[in-house]
């Protein structure tokens, strides 16, 4: 999403930066300058473009085994009930309880990787990370947004930033604004949840 005035300039810089990176294949030619209004005509054009690009993905319209569909529905039922993360063993048990089962661990891994590729869950099949399957990717996105949007309680004078600014985690909550304090609490809680569930690991951060 780009502002109308500088959209093309930003897009050019971004393309140049990502030219030699794998993510460059995901670029489309159009620029959609929207202002976050629900009535913006460009917003509808953006939605149509997303559907158009998504329909070109190799998995679009692909048939999946009934046993995959049944297990996916069970996982989505847990997600809708507020469960954010499940263990690999929980998925295995759900599969065993199903009327039609995935028969072996290789197919179960393929099923989970399929859900990951379609954006339904977050799952990494490497040994150190495979035990946690995130049922609600938006939960992770919200946590990253908290971190990215966090702002230290900076002084009004930019010249004082070098001496008086500090990271949000180190701010004295008594001297912070209510908004900064609330953001600090949100970040601390979200990342504590990740740490408690074993999601934040050196291997994951390095991916």
Strands (E), the chain: 85-87, 132-134
Distance CA 88, CA 132 (A): 6
pLDDT digits (tens, 9 = 90+) for 106-133: 999 999 999 998 889 999 988 888 899 9
Please give the distance of CA 157 from its chain centroid, rounded to a whole number. 35
Picking from 61, 51, 91, the residue whose alpha carbon sits closest to that of residue 74 is: 91
Highest mean pLDDT among 15-19, 32-36, 83-87, 164-168: 83-87
Q: What is the CA radius of gyration of the chain?
A: 22
Residue ranges of domains in the chain = 7-54, 66-134, 138-156+166-205
Distance CA 153, CA 171 (A): 7
pLDDT for the residue 200: 52
pLDDT for the residue 15: 76
For domain 66-134, give the fold: Arc Repressor Mutant, subunit A (1.10.10)
Maximum C-alpha span of the chain: 67
Confidence band of 90 (pLDDT split at 50, 70, 90): very high
């Amino acid at each position: 999403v780009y502002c109308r005035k500088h959209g093309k300039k930003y897009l050019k810089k971004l393309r140049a930066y990502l030219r030699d990176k794998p993510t460059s294949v995901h670029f489309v030619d159009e620029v959609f300058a929207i202002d976050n209004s629900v009535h913006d005509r460009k917003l509808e054009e953006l939605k149509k473009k997303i559907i158009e690009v998504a329909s070109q993905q190799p998995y679009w319209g692909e048939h999946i085994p009934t046993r995959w569909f049944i297990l996916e529905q069970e996982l989505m039922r847990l997600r809708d009930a507020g469960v954010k993360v499940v263990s690999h063993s929980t998925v295995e048990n759900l599969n065993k309880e199903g009327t039609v089962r995935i028969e072996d661990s290789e197919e179960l891994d393929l099923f989970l990787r399929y859900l990951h590729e379609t954006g339904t869950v977050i799952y990494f099949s490497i040994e150190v990370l495979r035990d946690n399957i995130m049922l609600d990717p938006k939960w992770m996105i919200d946590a990253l947004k908290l971190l990215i949007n966090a702002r230290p309680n900076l002084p009004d004078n930019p010249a004082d930033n070098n001496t008086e600014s500090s990271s949000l985690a180190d701010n004295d909550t008594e001297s912070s604004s209510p908004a900064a304090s609330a953001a600090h609490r949100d970040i601390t809680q979200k990342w504590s949840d990740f740490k408690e569930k074993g999601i934040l690991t050196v291997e994951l951060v390095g991916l």
